[in-house]
Amino acid sequence: ETGVTQSPTHLIKTRGQQVTLRCSSQSGHNTVSWYQQALGQGPQFIFQYYREEENGRGNFPPRFSGLQFPNYSSELNVNALELDDSALYLCAGGGRGEQYFGPGTRLTVT
Amino acid sequence: DQQVKQNSPSLSVQEGRISILNCDYTNSMFDYFLWYKKYPAEGPTFLISISSIKDKNEDGRFTVFLNKSAKHLSLHIVPSQPGDSAVYFCAASAMTSGTYKYIFGTGTRLKVLA
């Protein structure tokens, strides 16, 4: 049990639509990171939030954006969905020495 | 450019024997490394970490070894159990401008045979 939960579990969207994925940390981790995991690949870093500010970003376009709230919950927003956005989206809370992942949201874009 | 590589996509080991999972990296600025295991339909589970000031870290059946000169780390599982069957990922990070991000390898699927 990592104390990190994500919702929804699965989601199907149409190309061009927008989606919001949610993450909450029961342990109150003040740093949250979001990752995209395509089939057969390792997780790819999207961005990290620390105390409600973006604190590092991977090679993802601006249509991937996020928020972190005072209660350390977080959202990942993706605009103008593309077929290649189909993946497992993971959030992780914790510090540099330990990152605890949630179960992920499986997004399918058709 | 894959900065973190797990060159063995799969590994089979007999129950009770040692499992050795390998990971190579190219960025000499990496100074923190994590190992995860992942079951299907679950998020990765943190196993063990090591910082570059150490060359070994042990936690129960899991030991991670770091060879900085070779830019290589390995995870040893002794003894291996059927429940260890999963995909294992290594991840590495460097501190840059006050922030860090983890780069993951592509994973090694471990199968422990009963």
Is the CB of A103 less than 8 angstroms away from the CB of B4? no
Q: Nearest residue on chain B to A100, judged by CA atoms?
A: B46
Q: How crowded is residue A71: how many other Cβ atoms within 10 Å of its Cβ?
A: 9
- Whether B108 shows a pLDDT value over 70: the answer reads yes
User: How distant is the Cα of A101 from the closest Cα of chain B, in angstroms?
Assistant: 6
* Cα A49 from Cα A56, distance rounded (Å): 7
The three-state secondary structure class of B49 is: strand
CB-CB contact of A77 with A90 (8 Å): no
What is chain A's pLDDT, residue by residue, as a tens digit (110 residues)? 668 999 999 999 999 999 999 999 877 778 899 999 998 899 999 999 988 899 889 999 999 999 999 888 999 999 999 999 999 999 999 878 788 999 999 999 99
Q: Nearest residue on chain A to B109, judged by CA atoms?
A: A40
**Stronger pLDDT, B110 or A40, i.e. the higher one:** B110
pLDDT band at B1 (very low <50, low <70, confident <90, very high): low
DSSP code, position B83:
G
Q: Is the dihedral of CA A87, A104, A10, B109 positive or negative?
A: positive
* Cα B103 from Cα A81, distance rounded (Å): 24
Token output for B70: 């070779």
User: In this predicted model, what pLDDT tens digit does every residue of B41-56 receive, in sequence order?
Assistant: 889 999 999 999 999 9
Q: Which residues of A touch B91 (CB under 8 A)?
A: 42-43
